[in-house]
Every structure is written in C-alpha cells, then in structure tokens.
Amino acid sequence: MTSEKGRPPRAEDDLLDWFTVSYRSMAVAIVLALAVGGGLFWYWHHAPAQPSPPPPTRREASSARFVSIEGSVKVKSVGNIEWVTADKSMVLNRSDLVRTSPGATAEIEFFNGTVVHIRPDSLITIEETSEDPRTREQKVVWRISSGEVNFQTARKNVPGSSTEVSTPTITATAGELTTGGVKVADAGDTEVKLFKGSGQVETKNGQKVTLNTNEGLKVDANGKAGAKAALPDVPVLQAPPHQAEISYPDPSRATTLLAWNAVAAAASYHFQIDYSAYFNRPIYDRRGWKGTSIELRGLDVGKYYWRVAAIDKDDNEGSFSDFARFTVTRPTPGQGDGPPPPLVIESLDLRTNILQIKGRTEPGATVSVNGQRVDVGTDGAFTEFITLEKPGKQTVLIRATGLNGGVTEQRRPVVVAAF
C-alpha cells in the first residue's frame, strides 16, 4: 500500500492551502491598515495646526462721478480707443481720461468727498480711487497732463488716507480740508497754489517743499522748484452787492460800476465777468488791472457773475474771490422805479464860485450834481468840487440813482458872490 504521506497531492489539498495563505495575508493587511489609519487619525487630531495664509492685500475699487458739465467734455475709458461725450450718469474709474475743450469745464466728485474742478482746455487721468477693505484707508490720485485744475479735499475718514495730484514734474499730497489749484503750462512748467490747508510737493528731481495756506510754488519743465511764495489775500467784492438788480431805461447806454476793496500786497488785479458762475467763457477777462473798480458800459439785460483776484509785484496771483451775481433789467412799463437810495449831504462849502460837496449814498449808486457825474467810493461816500458859472442866488440839484433804478434828489440853495 502506498503510505498516506507519500500519496500524490490531490486538487482539494491545493485549494485548502490557497485558502489558508489567503486568509493569513488578508489578516496581515487588515492589521497594517488599522495601524496606519490609527496613526493618521492620531496625527490629524494632535498635530499642531498650520497657520492660514494671510488674505492677499487688495484695495476695493471705488469711483468718481461728474457733478457738473459745461460745454464739450470728453471721456476715454480704460481699454477703449474712442472718446465719448461725458454725462452725469458716467462712473469714472482708474485710468479713465477726461478732457475739456476750450470754453468747457467739468466738476468731478470722488468717493472720499474730494471735488476737482477742471478748467477749459485741460486733460486729466483718474489714477486711483480705492479703499482698503481691512483698514478702510481711502486713496484718491489724479494726474494733470495739461491745463488747470482747482480742488477741494474733504476730512479724512481714517489716518493714512491720502489725496494726491501729479503732473509731469511734481507729485503733491494734499491735506484734509485743503483748497488749491494746479496748473501745467504749455512749456511744461507746473504751478501749485494752496489757498487753504496744507500739502507736500515733491519734484521729479527729489526736492520736497511744504506748502501752507496762501502759499504757491513754481516748478520748471526740468523739475527744478523755485522758492515758495506768499500769495496775496482775497479781495472782497463791494458793489454791486450780491444778487443786486440794476434797472436801466436804456441798458445799451448805461454804465455799471463794479468795485472791490484794496488788497495790501496787490500791485494789480485779475477781473472776470461771465454769464456763468463757472467762468468758462468770460465776456471780460482783464489781468493786470491797476484800480479797485471798473466801469462796464452797455451790459445787456441778463444775469452776470463776477470775481476778482489780487496779483503781487512778482506776478503771483492769489485766489479769486467768491463770485457775486447781479442782474441788469429794464423798468417794466406801468410800474414805478425801485426804492430810492439814501442820500446824505454832509457839507456844502462855497468859496467864490467853487462848491465843495460831501455826502454819502449806497454803494454802487451813481451821483450827479447839476447834471455833472460825481465819483462815488466803494463805501458810497463822495466828495466833489463843482464850478458854478453864474453869480447870484441859485439852486444846486444833487441826484442819486440806485442800483434798482430808484432816484433820490435834494435841492440846496446857494448864493455865489460876484467874481
């Protein structure tokens, strides 16, 4: 007999061996998997947490909008090649260009309250209008390539906020509640003026200058700054008073006197009058006027706006005054003249046939003595010498005509000795 140990293997024996090995392998694999999984589980729950990466620094885009548009104003948005006509519904963003034609103006308000008034024939770029979402710091930057811009900054929302203006030769940072102007001449020169507040100017050559209220700085086309200069004070307009109505029977033949107070440092004045408060198309624009009053003849019926700036001996021009408005009218048929102006005769002094008369009326009124025009001061005072041609007793007629067409007359008897 063949022993049991020596018999040839049967198929069912091979199958049993295979199952035995497979169960052992699976058991080992399961144990290893549990060990690895447990280790990972422990690591995930006990390993120190990795710090989260900080969020990327970015600034939220904000905007600027037109407040007013006078005349032809064009805008070229970033990425566009065509200029389009500006309108108040537009939102101005970074890299947008704004151009005013001759005789046109535009006023832009940035999201931080800064107001920029663009004068005629100017080109500016909106370089930045943004707010940091974490610190709430606000930043506004615009660039003047050519022309002139006046600006007014608002109060800062948080420390670190800034308002900047640049030209080809300077970069200026304006403080809060600051009013000023920047002009870029055709030759490339830049002029910076601050009428209120403070600011820092840095030239492209690295010069740094601090400007305060009523100070100006001129920088040449090469970026070299001159000495900063004190600007003249602002004139005060006196006559006609703001919102006055002046009535003339024949405006084409009438003369209107406009007067302002003298500024101590002024060598001359810059006078403008326009139909618009933006002064983009002045009907009179006279720089270098020596007096403190000017007579305009033949103003037509309508509303007029006027303003004056002082100029010192070095040709530094200060801020324009606030404008005043007056209206020229004709008397309405069937209606009487306006209220008569005051007329006070302070003295009559007769020497031989020369009569000196002193008196006072309202500022802007006209005065005549026996039909002869008398100069009236900006405060309404007048002093005049009148020659009386005949001897004997006679009456002197003093007439004051107010801005609204009202008339006051006084008659004074005098006796002229023989001469």
Which pLDDT score is estimated for 39?
53
pLDDT of 46: 52
Residue 282 has pLDDT above 90, yes or no: yes
Render pLDDT for 63-101 as a digit per residue (tens, 0 to 9). Answer: 899 999 999 999 999 888 899 999 999 999 999 999 999
What are the distances in angstroms from CA 167 to CA 16, 104, 141, 248? 94, 21, 11, 48
Q: In sequence order, which residues have a C-beta less than 8 Å from that of residue 12 and are 6 or more positions away?
A: none
Instruction: Give the H or E element holding residue 43.
Output: helix 11-46
Q: Give the separation between CA 405 and CA 20, rounded to whole angstroms.
A: 127
Helix %, strand %, coil % of the chain (to 5): 10, 45, 45
pLDDT(222) > 90: yes
- Whole-number Å distance between alpha carbons of 396 and 394: 7
Task: Give the start-to-end residue ranges of the domains of the chain.
Answer: 60-230, 237-329, 343-416
The set of long-range contacts for 225-230, using a CB threshold of 8 Å and a minimum separation of 24, is 225/170, 225/201, 229/314, 229/316, 230/265, 230/316
Q: Can you give the pLDDT at residue 24?
A: 52
Q: What is the pLDDT of residue 337?
A: 57
> What integer pLDDT is reported at residue 2 of this predicted model?
42
Among the four given CATH numbers 3.30.420.40, 3.40.50.720, 1.25.40.10, 2.60.40.10, the one describing domain 237-329: 2.60.40.10
| pTM reported for the whole predicted model | 0.68
**pLDDT tens-digit series, residues 51-65:** 444 444 444 457 899
CATH assignment, 60-230: 2.60.120.1440
Tokens representing 307 are: 């303003």
Indicate the pLDDT class of residue 173, thresholds 50, 70 and 90. very high
In eight-state DSSP terms, residue 40 is H
| pLDDT at residue 26 is higher than 60 | no
Mean pLDDT score of the chain, rounded to an integer? 84
Same fold, 237-329 and 343-416: yes
Burial class of 73 by CB neighbour count within 10 A (0 to 12, 13 to 18, 19+): buried
CATH of 343-416, one of 3.10.180.10, 3.90.1170.50, 3.40.50.1000, 2.60.40.10: 2.60.40.10
Read off the pLDDT of residues 5-20 as tens digits, 9 standing for 90 and up.
344 444 444 443 434 4
